[in-house]
Structures are given as C-alpha cells and as structure tokens.
C-alpha cells in the first residue's frame, strides 16, 4: 500500500497525507471535491460563530424581558393598595432594572463585536497564508518570479 503524494494547493510542496495540515505552510487539509480559485477563501476558513450569535441573541432577549418586567412592576406599584409613596420606591427599582437591561443589551453588542474581531483575525490569517504560499512559490521558481515582476513594471 503506497500513499499517494499530493501537492499542497498553497505552497505546492508534496503532502503524503492530504487530510492533515500542510507541514510546510500550515494550509488546512484538502477536502476531496473541493473546488476553489486562488482568490477564493476555503470553506474551512469560513467557520461560523453560531454559538456566539446565540449568546448575543440571548442577552438581547433578556434585556427586552427586563423591560417587560419593568413595565409590569410599574403597573403593579402604581395600582398597589396602601402604598404611601409608590413613586419614590419605584424610582430605585426603575433605575436598577434599566441599568440591568442596558448592561444585558450591551453584552449582546459586545458579543457581536467579538465575532467581528474573530472574522478580522481569520482574514489576517488567510492573507498571511497566501503571502507565505507566494513566498514559497517564488523561492522555488526564482527566475519565474523575477520575470513576472519585470512584466508588471
């Protein structure tokens, strides 16, 4: 049983096991039947942040729920019999619940910001991988890369 040697799509170095990460450039495993152009991003690089999106939605739903509870508490405080100063008691509760609802909403936005930062890190990793692969190509074919740079000028 002889293992088939496959060339890495990024750096063209030989890979004995295409289902593992390239030891030369760190390119992800080759998926059989995966088709892409050089400018396209691999499907393995587009992993969604599903869990973080659910957490962001959970924080925002909890913030809205706090506002609904706030409205219910205001109605209950104003209609309660025998309360001597319901307005003064409600001001503290209203402030406390609004602050908590605002914190929950901002935590949801912060989670979305973390997702955007993750996308930025992923894009930087992809671009660095492409730069690394191009440098490997140029180091293997120096006469070809010099000719191509002369044509560009």
Q: Are residues 100 and 128 in the same domain?
A: yes
Q: Are 27 and 134 in contact (CB under 8 A)?
A: no
Name the band, by pLDDT with cuts 50, 70 and 90, for residue 74: confident
> Is 125 among the domain residues?
yes
Report the C-alpha gap between 136 and 114 in whole angstroms: 33
> Is 98 among the domain residues?
yes
Q: Are residues 71 and 36 in the same domain?
A: no
Q: Are residues 63 and 19 in the same domain?
A: no
The tens digit of pLDDT for each residue in 77-123 reads 888 777 666 777 888 889 999 999 999 999 999 999 998 888 888 88
Residue whose token pair is 């730069």: 131
Size of the chain in residues:
153
Q: Are residues 38 and 54 in the same domain?
A: no
Q: Which helix (H) or strand (E) holds 7?
A: strand 6-7
Range of the domain at 25: 1-43
Q: Are residues 28 and 56 in the same domain?
A: no
> Is 97 among the domain residues?
yes
The tens digit of pLDDT for each residue in 28-51 reads 777 666 655 555 566 556 567 788
pTM of the model: 0.57
Q: Are residues 38 and 59 in the same domain?
A: no
> Is 149 among the domain residues?
no
> Is 19 among the domain residues?
yes
Q: Are residues 55 and 99 in the same domain?
A: yes
Q: Are residues 59 and 119 in the same domain?
A: yes
């Amino acid at each position: 049983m002889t293992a088939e040697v496959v060339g890495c799509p990024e750096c063209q170095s030989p890979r004995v096991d295409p289902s593992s990460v390239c030891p030369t450039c760190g390119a992800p495993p080759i998926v059989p039947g995966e088709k892409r152009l050089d400018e396209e991003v691999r499907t393995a690089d587009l992993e969604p942040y599903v869990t973080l999106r659910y957490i962001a939605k959970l924080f925002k739903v909890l913030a809205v729920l706090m506002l609904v509870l706030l409205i219910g508490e205001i109605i209950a405080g104003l209609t309660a019999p025998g309360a001597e100063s319901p307005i003064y008691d409600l001001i503290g509760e209203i402030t406390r619940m609004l602050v908590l609802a605002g914190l929950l909403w901002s935590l949801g936005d912060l989670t979305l910001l973390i997702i955007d930062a993750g996308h930025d890190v992923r894009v930087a990793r992809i671009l660095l991988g492409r730069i690394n692969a191009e440098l490997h190509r140029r180091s293997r074919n120096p006469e070809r890369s010099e000719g191509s740079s002369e044509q560009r000028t």
